Amino acid sequence: MDETISVVLFSGTDDKLQSAAVLVAGAAALGKPVRILLQYWALRAFTNERMGKSNGYCPEAGDSGRAAFEAAAAGAGLASWADTMRAAKELGDVDIAACSQSMDVLKLVPADLDPMVGGVQGVAAFYLNAGEGQIVFI
């Protein structure tokens, strides 16, 4: 049985990153290894330049959804996705890699990325690490 959860993290909106962080933290708390491959807009959200800034919400969130998120965050009821992801990485076996092709498209170098990101990886290495475990695209 392979308990690894492999996440292709593509989306860069605050709400999807929040969902991803909660799912990663939950898996880490249960002792499951988590392997994350950052692509495109998620990768951009993990750059030093964007870290801590808002990247918007899914269109269907609407004004009321955005307001609910912002109120929960302001009221300390909701940790930021980045803090949740950092805590998951400290707590469990969580590995975050940047997709090499996405690095090329966005013209990024490793020094541009938040220290949470442990390296740059191709898709083949991602699959090999995934083994027989579950793969989730977010």
Q: Choose among 92, 91, 108, 112: nearest CA to 100.
A: 108
CB-based contacts of 117: which residues, under 8 Å, 6+ apart? 38, 46, 96, 97, 98, 110
Q: Which two tokens stand for residue 16?
A: 């999807």
User: Which of 73/116 has CB closer to a second copy?
Assistant: 73
User: Which of 38/117 has CB closer to a second copy?
Assistant: 38
> Binding residues for a second copy, per CB under 8 A?
1, 5, 8, 10-13, 15-16, 18-19, 22-23, 25-27, 29-30, 32, 39-41, 44, 55-56, 58-61, 65, 68-69, 72, 77-78, 99, 101, 104-107, 122-124, 126-128, 130, 132, 134-138
Cβ 40 vs Cβ 70: under 8 Å: no
Closest contact distance (angstroms) between CB of 5 and a second copy is 7
